[in-house]
Amino acid sequence: MIATIIFALTFAAFVVLTGLDGSAGTTEVFVYQYARADFFDNLLPKVATILMGPGSARAGGIDIQTTNRSRRGLTFSTSRPADDPDIQRPSPPAGRGWWDIPVAWIVLTPDTDLTTGHRDRSVAIVSSRPSLILNSLFSTLGSLASVTFVIMVITAITLLIVEIVAVLFGAKLTRSITRAVADLYEGTLKVQAGDFSHRIPLRKTKDQLSELAGSFNSMTGRIESLIVEVKEKERLENELAIARDVQSQLFPKEFPRLKSLELWGGCQPARTVSGDYYDFIALGRDRVALAIGDISGKGISAALLMAHIQSALRSQLMHENNQRNTAAENGTTSPSSILTILNNHLYISSPPEKYATFFLGLYSDEDGQLIYTNAGHLAPIVVRQGQVLRLAGEGFPVGLFPGITYDHQATVLQPGDLLVAFTDGVTETPNRSGDEFGDHRLSELLVCHVDNPLDEIASAVSTSVAAWAGDVERHDDTTLLLARRL
C-alpha cells in the first residue's frame, strides 16, 4: 500500500514537471493494487460481511475482476466456476441472542471498466448485527466506553419512560376531551328537545372544557329560570286580565238619569288594574250619591281594596236609603255618617298601611242641593259662569285612624254649573322636566270647554294630560267624575 502511494506521488510530480497538464488531450493514469482473496473479509473484521456486485454469493479465496457490463447491471466472473466448493453463501457474523437480528445496507462505489473505460457504480451490500456495530463504536472510546454506555442506557431508559408517560397522558387527555365533547353534544341535544333541566356532569379538572361545561349548566339553568319566570308572568297577566274584567264590572255601566243633573265618569288605569274608584248610586228617582276615591298603593292590592270599599259603601247607602224617611228626620242620612262607619270598617278589615282618600256627595234633584264630605281627597272644582270655585272641606282619609268622625258641608248647584271631581293622577302628572300638570292648567281647560258635552270635556282633559306627559311613563291612575246642573 505504501509503495502504491509513493508511486502515485512520483507520477503526479512527473506530470507537473513535464507539462502534461492535459492541454493537448486527456491523459488518464490508473494505479491499482492486487486484492487478495481475504480483502473484503479483513476490511471490517468481526464487524460486517461485504458482498460486492449484484450476486448473492461471496467468492472466498478468489480474485474478483469486472469482465462485462450491461445496461441492466453488473455481471462478474471468477477464476473458478460457481459450483466450486470454495464458493460459500454470504451470512452475517454470529449474533448474541434472539434480539441481535441481522441488519444490511447498500453502499454505492464508483468503478471503471478497464476494457472500455466506461465509468459506473458498483453495489456493495454490507451485512452485520447491532451488537457488533455498537462494540466497534465503543471500542474507539477506550476507558470511556463503559461510562458512555451507561449514559446511553440511562438516556434510553429515560426516553422510554418519557415516551410511556407521554402516551398515557395523551390517551388520558384524548379521553377527557372526547368525553367532554360527548357530554356537550348530549347536552345540546337535550336543550334542542326542550329539556332545560339537563345538566352536564362536571369533571374534576380545571381546563377550559370543564369551565365550558359549567357555563353551559349556568346557561341552561338561567334559561330554565327565565322560562319559569315567563310562565309566572303569563299566569299573573292572566290573573290581571281577569281582575281587570272583574273591576270593569264594578264601575257603573250606566249613569243615573235625573231631571236636573247630567253625570259622566271614567277611569284610565296606569297599569292593568286601577286603584282609583268612582261610583254613582241612585237613591230613588230624585236622589243620587256621587263618590270618588284614591286607594293607597297600586296594582292588585289597591284594586282589591277598591272593590272592598265599593261593596261596603253600596251596602251602607242601600241600608240608609231603606230608612230614608226616619233618617231624614234625625239627620243620620248624611255622607259624614256614612264615611264614619266606612272608616271604622276599613280600619278593622285592612292592613294598617292601607287607606283611601274619599269624596262622597249626596245630590237632591228637588232643590239642586249637594251635601258632601271630603275625607282627605282633592277638593272638587265647580265652574260657574267662567269662574272656578273649590268645594271647601277636608278630613282624614278613611281607614287610617279608628274612631274618627267626619263633618259635612252643603252647596247648591245652579243651572249651568259644572262639577268636576278628580284624582291626583290628573293634576300631578309630570312632564319630561318634572313639572306637574297642575290645578291651574286643569281650571283653564275646564273653563274653555265648559259648554261642551261631558264626554268631550273628559276627552279634552285626557288628551291634554297625555300630551303634557309625552313619553314619560305614567305611574298613577287618572279618574274624572263630571256632573252638570241642567
| Residue (of 451, 383, 377, 422) closest to 266 by Cα position | 422
pLDDT at 164: 94
Q: Is residue 244 situated within a structural domain? A: yes
One domain for residues 229 and 357: no
pLDDT digits (tens, 9 = 90+) for 6-31: 555 565 555 555 555 545 556 666 66
Q: How far apart are CA 413 and CA 400, in angstroms?
A: 31
Nearest CA to 183 among 206, 214, 229? 214
Write the DSSP string, 89-157: ---PPP-SSTT---EEEEEEEEEE-TTT--EEEEEEEEEE-HHHHHHHHHHTTGGGHHHHHHHHHHHHH
117: left (phi over 0), alpha (psi -120 to 50) or beta: left
Q: Residue 36 and residue 43: Cα distance in Å, rounded?
A: 11
Q: What is the pLDDT of residues 101-116, one digit of tens each?
A: 888 888 887 777 777 7
The pLDDT of residue 242 is: 76
What HEC string does 264-325 produce? Answer: EEEEECCCCCCCEEEEEEECCCCEEEEEEEEECCCHHHHHHHHHHHHHHHHHHHHHHHHCHH
Whether residue 293 sits in one domain with residue 382? yes
Distance in angstroms (rounded) separating the CA atoms of residues 458 and 263: 12
Q: Which of 433, 434, 420, 432 is nearest to 462 (CA)?
A: 420
Is 15 a domain residue? Answer: no
* Report field, pTM of the whole predicted structure over 0.75: no
Joined grid coordinates for residue 155: 438516556
Number of folded domains in the chain? Answer: 3
Is residue 9 assigned to a domain?
no
Under the banding of pLDDT at 50, 70 and 90, the label for residue 89 is very low
Which residue reads 241642567 in cell numbers?
486
- What CATH code is carried by the domain that includes residue 300? 3.60.40.10
Total residue length of the chain = 486
- Is the Cβ–Cβ distance between 286 and 258 less than 8 Å? yes
Question: d(Cα 291, Cα 278) in Å, to the nearest integer?
Answer: 5
The per-residue pLDDT for 15 is 55
Q: What angle do CA 389, 390, 395 make, to 5 degrees?
A: 165
**For residue 5, is it within any domain?**
no
Residue 67: band (very low, low, confident or very high) from pLDDT cuts 50, 70, 90: very low
> At which of 133, 168, 196 does a domain end?
133
DSSP 42-105: HHSTTTEEEEESS-S-EETT--EEEEEEETTEEEEEESS-TT-TTEE---PPP-SSTT---EEE
Kindly tell me the burial class for residue 236, based on how many C-beta atoms sit within 10 Å of its own C-beta (0-12, 13-18, 19 or more). Answer: middle
How far is residue 112's CA from residue 107's CA, in Å, rounded to a whole number? 16
**Do residues 208 and 278 share a domain?**
no
Domain boundary among 250, 267, 297: 250
Same domain for 333 and 395, yes or no, is yes
- With vertex at residue 323, the alpha carbon angle to CA 320 and CA 328, rounded to the nearest 5 degrees, is 85
One domain, residues 332 and 448? yes
CB 261 within 8 A of CB 485: yes
Vertex 88 angle, CA 83 and 89, to 5°: 110
pLDDT tens-digit readout, 265-285? 998 887 777 778 899 998 888
Q: Is residue 95 part of a domain?
A: yes
**Alpha-carbon span 447 to 456, nearest angstrom:** 13
In a shared domain, residues 469 and 433: yes
Average pLDDT over all residues of the chain = 78
Tell me: do 404 and 481 sit in the same domain: yes
Give residue 273's pLDDT: 74
Does residue 244 sit in the same domain as residue 311? no
The Cα diameter of the chain in Å comes to 169
Which are the contacts of 419, defined by CB distance < 8 A and separation ≥ 6? Answer: 290, 370, 380, 381, 382, 413, 482, 483, 484, 485
- The parent domain of residue 145 ranges over 141-250
* Rounded-to-integer distance, Cα 165 and Cα 446, Å: 93
Judge if 100 and 87 occupy the same domain: yes
Confirm whether 364 is domain-assigned.
Answer: yes
382, part of any domain: yes
Q: Which of 109-113, 257-261, 402-406, 411-415 has the lowest mean pLDDT?
A: 109-113
Domain end residue (candidates: 133, 155, 185): 133
User: Is the C-alpha dihedral spanning 237, 239, 241, 247 positive or negative?
Assistant: negative
pLDDT tens digit sequence for 330-353 = 444 689 989 999 999 888 888 888
Q: How far is CA 103 from the centre of its chain?
A: 63
60/188 same-domain check: no
Residue 94: all three cell numbers together:
454470529
Distances (CA, A) of 89 to 44, 85, 96, 125, 234: 18, 11, 21, 13, 97
Let me know: does 390 contact 379? Beta carbons within 8 Å: yes
Cβ contact 274:479 at 8 Å: yes
Residues 398 and 409 in one domain: yes
Q: Are residues 152 and 85 in the same domain?
A: no
What 3-state class would DSSP assign to 419?
A: strand
Quick one: 322 exposed, middle or buried, by C-beta within 10 A (0-12, 13-18, 19+)? exposed
Rounded CA gap, 293 and 342, in Å? 13
Whether 339 maps to a domain, the answer reads yes
Query: What is the per-residue DSSP string for 336-397?
Result: HHHHHHHHHHHHHHS-TT--EEEEEEEEETTT-EEEEEEEBPPPPEEEETTEEEE-----PP
Q: Give CA–CA dist 126/358, Å, rounded.
A: 120
Q: Give the pLDDT mean for 79-96.
A: 54
